[in-house]
């Protein structure tokens, strides 16, 4: 069946996480704990099937079955040694190793009396196991109070397999638990959570959801220590306002800085959705002033083809980042954008060709957090206040042409920088010739702009315009030959490319530069017409770029196993306008080499080298290797050199140190094994295959230029089968001299919930360790999963490149 497009209202507010390869706790899609076919309050209907070795009784009145008795009716399925069924009162009384199954939950015990229609009755001294959380325990008695309600007295609950003599690693015991699956509520009275016998959490009343739906309630507290704020405790309260709205209010108490509160509201409607968050520290005792941060992200659609986004991040002062306070996480932590933009896409027919039209508008401002201790201040980027534009592009037809016009007002927080308006029009027409094997594409383009500045430009004028045409001729060939390598039949391609670009010189030195900067020199930009990005600077060009790449493709699937590319530009005449500012007289540009391969099993190698042919030395290089021999095993290393700017070595690892994962396969043994790369079938069978495994996790960024570690995370993850412990120490440099260290301890009770000390290390693992795999799929546990706690490092807020 066609998987239904996820309608906004129904997707709910939680993203599914990929399943870990240890025995995943539960499948994401298991039915809720109740027999889902019994509506709230209605009876269990349908015929009653009875199977046994012997049946005796009066037809229509009473049946006595003996010997491996099985009873099935609607959602109910029951097994026992003996069973007496009274048809008149519809009461089934089972004795002798009774197994009762309701949906995914199994109850076993010596004796059960149950009305099979109203599903009311009691079970003495049962043990039970909930399928969805794969956890259970014993109880003195369970009273079934109808289809979806039950009361359990003297219950213990744990996901650990009981082994004689040893105490359960963790167990939640409570005097009485009332479960109401319709109201999605579990209330435990006098609940005590014991970890290896030591009570670590006691609550007179503990409420928890029993189905997947979200439920208001206190989330596990997080306690952490950071050098900038000292000990900090935060206890989030999750408020499930309505199916489409929820809020998380988190009072926080910092030892050094005092009390604060973080509030985040999330909303999801068919036409629009988003998040709104605010953190306030009314009286920061360290900085002796109030600190706050707000964050917002709103997305919406108007009609079928207009969509808009509004979002931003604002903090109270420049030191907000260096003090590592909450609620201001973003990709560029010291440059916080605020942006509102809308686009309208439509396609129309123009002169026989189908044309895509996009009309867009946006307002875009920034907050740059200056580091006062640093001598050089960072110049703030320009603001677009506003920018309105339109783009047209042909979709098919013999000629490819495109046209774009835009009117923008650029201002800057730094008043010494010139502000002004710019209207620009750029267009191109190309005539692609050839078929799949070769192609020749002549292309004519122009870039016209007129400026109106608030103050005089360097030549005294306040308005100027310029028109710059460009002609390019691009030719590509693709040659192929069958070959054989890495033990597989391959097709090797050879793809030479020549591109000629001619752009006349037009002086733009006096014109303001709002949104242009030099492009990185790489295998993509070497073929670009302009050496600058943006509109304000168009480099003159009379050059030919030659390049060739060869790929190795698997003949059976067409998949690419390896690729090598080389490219170089040849200047036919000097280039006046260059990113470096000085005219470029060298005839041959730097040589670019790029290689990537995944042909060797479990090994990914990537490399880029930019070699300066004149000074015979490498100007820029990036090399990375990633080794992932099996589940939960990832080693990655990368070296980045940008001569004169940065040189960094990064290591990332997730590796089993003890228990299941280690020592079973040495890389040599690895090479011999021919099974599939993702070692699903090598997971040992039977029992909990990840029990007692200790993993080392972490990454290190070492700046060779500054001779210091810019960021270090060392972590240990211990998977004891029914609980997972994470201990993480993180050291992040926040200013030239100072850095902030953070300690996080997290215990995840599989089947219950997570108690974390400090922020959640999981999301930072996923972002920074290439190939990191979560040990267990936290999805589907009936606890209030923690990924809706406000402090969540991977909050992207307004993403930098929409």
Of 180 and 329, which has the nearer Cβ to another protein? 329
Contact between 756 and 749 (Cβ < 8 Å): no
Of 163 and 674, which has the nearer Cβ to another protein? 674
Residues linked to residue 410 through DSSP beta bridges, in sequence order: 384, 420
CB of residue 60 to another protein, shortest distance in Å: 6
Give me the 593-632 binding string for another protein, x by CB under 8 A, dash otherwise.
Answer: ---xxx-----x-x-x-------------x----------
Give me the 544-583 binding string for another protein, x by CB under 8 A, dash otherwise.
Answer: ---------xxxxxxxxx----------------------
* Close Cβ partners of 371 (under 8 Å, ≥ 6 residues apart): 318, 322, 334, 735, 736
According to the binding rule CB under 8 A, does residue 677 interact with another protein? Answer: yes
Residues linked to residue 784 through DSSP beta bridges, in sequence order: none
Burial of 755 (0-12, 13-18, 19+ CB in 10 A): buried
Of 237 and 272, which has the nearer Cβ to another protein? 272
Question: Phi and psi of 516, rounded to 5°?
Answer: -120, 150
Q: What angle do CA 581, 586, 588 make, to 5 degrees?
A: 125
Of 198 and 481, which has the nearer Cβ to another protein? 481
Residues 382-411 that bind another protein (CB under 8 A): 382, 384, 395-396
CB of residue 322 to another protein, shortest distance in Å: 7
Residues 435-464 that bind another protein (CB under 8 A): 435-438
CB of residue 233 to another protein, shortest distance in Å: 26
Number of Cβ within 10 Å of residue 441's Cβ equals 16
CB of residue 173 to another protein, shortest distance in Å: 38
Residues 711-740 that bind another protein (CB under 8 A): 711, 733-736, 739
CB of residue 461 to another protein, shortest distance in Å: 24
Residues 319-358 that bind another protein (CB under 8 A): 321-322, 331-335, 337, 343, 345, 356
Dist CA 338 CA 363 (whole Å): 8
Burial of 193 (0-12, 13-18, 19+ CB in 10 A): buried
Radius of gyration of the chain (CA): 33
Of 507 and 706, which has the nearer Cβ to another protein? 706
CB of residue 582 to another protein, shortest distance in Å: 19
CB of residue 627 to another protein, shortest distance in Å: 14
Omega of the bond prior to 386 within 30 degrees of 0, cis? yes
According to the binding rule CB under 8 A, does residue 194 interact with another protein? Answer: no
Contact between 342 and 303 (Cβ < 8 Å): no
Of 93 and 175, which has the nearer Cβ to another protein? 93
Residues 637-656 that bind another protein (CB under 8 A): 638, 640, 642, 645-646, 648, 650
CB of residue 61 to another protein, shortest distance in Å: 4
Of 283 and 374, which has the nearer Cβ to another protein? 374
Q: Candidates 128-136, 477-485, 660-668, 713-721 — which segment interacts with another protein by CB under 8 A?
A: 477-485
CB of residue 261 to another protein, shortest distance in Å: 25
Using CB under 8 A as the binding criterion, the count of chain residues that bind another protein stands at: 124
Helix/strand/coil for 110: strand
Which listed residue (11, 37, 379, 452) binds another protein by CB under 8 A? Answer: 379
Two structure tokens written together for 605: 């190698």
Distances (CA, A) of 519 to 45, 340, 538: 71, 26, 12
Q: Candidates 147-155, 289-297, 508-516, 656-664 — which segment interacts with another protein by CB under 8 A?
A: 508-516
Of 594 and 688, which has the nearer Cβ to another protein? 594
Q: Candidates 87-95, 135-143, 177-185, 455-463 — which segment interacts with another protein by CB under 8 A?
A: 87-95
Residues 266-305 that bind another protein (CB under 8 A): none
Of 164 and 556, which has the nearer Cβ to another protein? 556
Contact between 211 and 183 (Cβ < 8 Å): no
CB of residue 590 to another protein, shortest distance in Å: 15
CB of residue 40 to another protein, shortest distance in Å: 19
Which listed residue (218, 255, 479, 588) binds another protein by CB under 8 A? Answer: 479
Q: Candidates 379-387, 567-575, 655-663, 680-688 — which segment interacts with another protein by CB under 8 A?
A: 379-387
Burial of 112 (0-12, 13-18, 19+ CB in 10 A): buried
CB of residue 199 to another protein, shortest distance in Å: 42
H/E stretch holding 766 reads helix 761-768
CA atoms within 13 A on the CB side of 252: 34
Give me the 109-138 binding string for another protein, x by CB under 8 A, dash otherwise.
Answer: -------xx---------------------
Dist CA 22 CA 724 (whole Å): 12
Residues 3-22 that bind another protein (CB under 8 A): 3, 5
Of 311 and 721, which has the nearer Cβ to another protein? 311
According to the binding rule CB under 8 A, does residue 374 interact with another protein? Answer: yes
CB of residue 769 to another protein, shortest distance in Å: 11
CB of residue 298 to another protein, shortest distance in Å: 16
Residues linked to residue 143 through DSSP beta bridges, in sequence order: 122, 151
N-terminal to C-terminal alpha carbon distance within the chain: 33
Residues 36-75 that bind another protein (CB under 8 A): 47-63, 65, 67-68, 73
Of 577, 512, 571, which is closest to residue 539 (Cα–Cα)? 577
CB of residue 740 to another protein, shortest distance in Å: 10
Dist CA 353 CA 358 (whole Å): 16
Number of Cβ within 10 Å of residue 508's Cβ equals 21
Dist CA 396 CA 353 (whole Å): 6
Residues 512-551 that bind another protein (CB under 8 A): 514-517, 519-520, 522, 524-525, 528, 532-534
Print the SS3 string covering 504-559.
CCCCCCCCCCCCCEECCCCCCHHHCCCCEECCCCCCCEEEEEEEEEEEEEECCCCC
Of 239 and 477, which has the nearer Cβ to another protein? 477
DSSP-derived secondary structure for 249-310: EEEEEETTTEEEEEEEEEEE-SSEEEEEEEEEEEEETTTTEEEEEEEEEEEEEETTTEEEEE
- Burial string for 246-270 (b: 16+ CB within 10 Å, else e) reads bbbebebebeebeebebbbbbbbee
Residues 749-788 that bind another protein (CB under 8 A): 767-768
Which listed residue (4, 88, 198, 242) binds another protein by CB under 8 A? Answer: 88
């Amino acid at each position: 069946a066609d998987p239904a497009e996820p309608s906004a209202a129904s997707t709910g507010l939680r993203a599914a996480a990929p399943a870990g390869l240890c025995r995943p706790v539960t499948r994401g899609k298991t039915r809720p704990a109740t027999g889902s076919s019994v509506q709230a309050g209605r009876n269990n209907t349908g015929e009653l099937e009875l199977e046994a070795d012997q049946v005796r009784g009066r037809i229509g009145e009473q049946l006595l079955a003996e010997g491996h008795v099985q009873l099935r009716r609607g959602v109910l399925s029951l097994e026992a040694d003996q069973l007496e069924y009274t048809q008149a009162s519809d009461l089934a009384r089972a004795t002798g190793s009774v197994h009762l199954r309701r949906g995914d939950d199994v109850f076993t015990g010596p004796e059960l009396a149950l009305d099979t229609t109203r599903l009311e009755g009691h079970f003495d001294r049962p043990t039970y196991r909930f399928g969805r959380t794969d956890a259970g325990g014993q109880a003195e008695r369970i009273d079934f109070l109808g289809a979806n309600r039950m009361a359990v007295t003297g219950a213990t609950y744990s996901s650990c397999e009981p082994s004689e003599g040893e105490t359960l690693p963790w167990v939640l015991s409570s005097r009485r638990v009332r479960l109401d699956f319709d109201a999605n509520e579990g209330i435990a009275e006098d609940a005590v959570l014991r970890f290896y016998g030591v009570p670590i959490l006691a609550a007179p009343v503990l409420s928890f959801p029993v189905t997947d739906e979200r439920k208001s309630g206190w989330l596990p507290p997080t306690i952490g220590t950071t050098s900038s704020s000292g000990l900090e405790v935060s206890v989030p309260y999750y408020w499930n306002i309505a199916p489409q709205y929820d809020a998380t209010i988190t009072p926080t108490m910092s030892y050094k800085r005092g009390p604060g509160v973080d509030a985040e509201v999330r909303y999801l409607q068919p036409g629009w959705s988003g998040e709104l968050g605010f953190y306030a520290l009314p009286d920061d005792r360290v900085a002796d002033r109030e600190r706050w941060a707000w964050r917002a992200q709103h997305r919406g659609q108007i009609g079928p083809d207009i969509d808009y986004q509004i979002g931003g991040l604002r903090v109270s002062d420049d030191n907000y980042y260096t003090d590592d306070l909450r609620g201001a996480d973003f990709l560029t932590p010291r440059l916080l954008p605020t942006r509102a933009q809308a686009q309208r896409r439509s396609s129309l027919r123009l002169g026989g060709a189908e044309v895509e039209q996009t009309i867009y508008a946006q307002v875009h401002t920034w907050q740059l957090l200056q580091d006062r201790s640093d001598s050089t201040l960072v110049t703030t980027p320009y603001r677009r206040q506003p920018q309105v534009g339109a783009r047209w592009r042909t979709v098919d037809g013999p000629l490819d042409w495109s046209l774009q016009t835009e009117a923008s007002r650029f201002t800057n927080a730094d008043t010494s920088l010139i502000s002004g308006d710019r209207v620009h029009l750029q267009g191109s027409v190309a005539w692609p010739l050839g078929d799949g094997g070769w192609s020749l594409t002549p292309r004519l383009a122009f870039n016209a702009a007129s400026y109106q500045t608030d103050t005089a430009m360097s030549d005294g004028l306040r308005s100027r315009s310029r028109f710059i045409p460009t002609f390019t001729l691009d030719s590509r060939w693709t040659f192929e030959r069958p070959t054989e390598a890495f033990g597989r039949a391959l097709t090797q391609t050879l793809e030479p490319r020549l591109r000629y670009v001619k752009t006349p010189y037009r002086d733009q030195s006096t014109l303001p530069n709002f949104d242009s900067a030099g492009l990185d020199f790489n295998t993509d930009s070497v073929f670009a017409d302009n050496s600058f990005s943006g509109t304000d600077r168009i480099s003159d060009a009379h050059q030919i770029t030659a390049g060739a790449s060869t790929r190795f493709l698997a003949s059976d699937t067409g998949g690419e196993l390896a690729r090598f590319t080389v490219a170089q530009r040849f200047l036919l005449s000097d280039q006046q306008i260059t990113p470096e500012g000085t005219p470029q007289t060298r005839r041959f540009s730097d040589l670019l080499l790029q290689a990537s391969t995944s042909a060797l099993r479990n090994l990914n190698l990537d490399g880029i080298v930019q070699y300066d042919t004149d000074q015979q030395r490498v100007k820029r290089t990036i090399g990375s290797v990633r080794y992932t021999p099996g589940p939960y095993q990832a080693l990655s290393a990368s070296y980045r050199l940008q001569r004169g700017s940065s040189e960094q070595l990064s290591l990332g690892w997730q590796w089993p140190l003890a228990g299941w994962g280690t020592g079973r396969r040495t890389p040599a043994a690895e090479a011999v094994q021919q099974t599939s790369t993702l070692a699903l079938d090598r997971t040992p069978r039977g029992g909990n295959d990840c029990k007692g495994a200790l993993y080392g996790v972490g990454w290190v960024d070492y700046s060779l230029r500054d001779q210091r570690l810019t960021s270090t995370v060392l972590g240990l993850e211990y998977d004891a089968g029914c609980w997972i412990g994470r201990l993480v120490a993180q050291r992040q440099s926040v200013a030239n001299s100072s850095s902030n260290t953070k300690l996080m301890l997290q215990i995840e009770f599989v089947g219950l919930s997570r108690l974390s000390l400090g922020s959640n290390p999981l999301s930072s693992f996923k972002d920074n360790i290439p190939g990191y795999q979560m040990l267990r799929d936290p999805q589907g546990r009936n606890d209030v999963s923690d990924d809706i706690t406000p402090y969540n490092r991977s909050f992207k807020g307004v993403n930098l490149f929409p």
